[in-house]
Amino acid sequence: MKIGVDLGGTKIKAGVETNGSIIRQNTIFLQQKDSLSATLTQLINLIKPLTDYPATSIGIGVPSVVDVERGIVYNVANIPSWEKVALRDILEEEFNLPVFVNNDVNCFTLGEHRFGVAKNYSSVVGMTIGTGLGSGLIIDNQLYVGHNCGAGEIGLLPYRDHNLEYYACSNFFDAIHGTTALEASQAALNGNKKAINMWSEFGVHIGCAIKAAMYVFDPEAIVLGGSISKAYPLFKAGMLETLNDFAYPQSLKRLKLLQSQDDDISMLGAAALVSQDLKVKV
């Protein structure tokens, strides 16, 4: 048994993994995010009941750049007090278990590769579409994080007058159209033509992000996850139309575009960080 933790900017989920399933989990919403001690206490109190199980290790995914070797996280998204936190040392001292720390989207991608819809593919790009556009990489069946745990950040590539993330996440609805993804999806489902066109336009931007991933990594599969990916039917047509001009048509035909199906996949991926046969490239 292993404990997997998915730490977000507003919510933390932690669960006990065994045989590729989460058998128990706890969730909290972060409070006092400007206090390092308060947020660490919340995290520790969330994990503590799970150690009643015979867990052998803890893996945790964090929305930040991570020093994977030392388990230090930097400038965690939406938690201002987490500028530099020696998270591995803190949790190992608290629980007396080995702790592995990595980026949250890397954990999502690893979870999909080990347990989810991408488990039959050796090269995978995981893309989470939500408040941002995050990406993780599996190359030759191994999680690849790069020298500074920054590999695969497709969303930060220059695009139009900003970058891909600016147009391919919730910001597209908030900043450009003055609405939310939820409101836009409800309107589109009710037949609102303006909202339908909005989602088609959003699909164009997602399609450009996918093309960037294909040109750079040429993966077997791309997995879409995150809250906005649940609206896939609304942006699918615009996305596929944009992919039609990809320079290598045969590569496009062979690509598997997948949707995440498991809300616990990031916890599973975090738990998988501790597997003995996982050699993380750094």
At 213-269, the pLDDT tens digits run 999 999 999 999 999 999 999 999 999 999 999 999 999 999 999 999 999 999 999
Q: Are residues 97 and 144 in the same domain?
A: no
C-alpha count within 13 angstroms, C-beta hemisphere, residue 274:
24
Q: Residue 202: which CATH number?
A: 3.30.420.40
Domain limits at 215? 120-259
Report in angstroms the alpha-carbon separations of 8 from 97, 168, 184: 22, 19, 24
Instruction: Check whether residue 142 and residue 98 sit in a common domain.
Output: no
In a domain, 273, yes or no: no
Tell me if 99 sits within 8 A of 56, measured CB to CB: no
8 A C-beta contact, residue 168 and residue 132: no
> Which of 63, 82, 106 is a domain's end point?
106
Are residues 68 and 9 part of one domain? yes
Q: How far apart are the first and last CA of the chain?
A: 26
> Sheet containing 124-129: which strands, arranged edge to edge?
142-144, 133-139, 124-129, 221-225, 256-259
Q: Are residues 191 and 66 in the same domain?
A: no
Shared domain for 247 and 173, answered yes or no, is yes
What is the tally of structural domains in the chain? 2
Spatial separation of the C-alpha atoms in residues 213 and 109, rounded to whole Å = 14
Asked whether residue 274 is assigned to any structural domain, the reply reads no
Indicate the pairing of strand 133-139 with strand 142-144.
antiparallel
Question: Which pLDDT score, from 0 to 100, does residue 279 have?
Answer: 44
Residue 275 maps to a domain: no
Whether residues 125 and 223 fall in one domain: yes
User: Are both 135 and 96 inside the same structural domain?
Assistant: no
pLDDT by residue for the chain (282 residues), tens only, comes to 999 999 988 899 999 999 999 999 999 999 999 999 999 999 999 999 999 999 999 999 999 999 999 999 999 988 999 999 999 999 999 999 999 999 999 999 999 999 999 999 999 999 999 999 999 999 999 999 998 899 999 999 999 999 999 999 999 999 999 999 999 999 999 999 999 999 999 999 999 999 999 999 999 999 999 999 999 999 999 999 999 999 999 999 999 999 999 999 999 999 999 873 444 433
146: alpha, beta or left, given left = phi > 0 and alpha = psi -120 to 50?
left
Residue 70 lies in a domain: yes
Q: In terms of domains, do 136 and 214 share one?
A: yes
Q: What pLDDT score was predicted for residue 18?
A: 95
Q: What pTM was estimated for this model as a whole? A: 0.94
Q: Is residue 59 located within the same domain as residue 167?
A: no
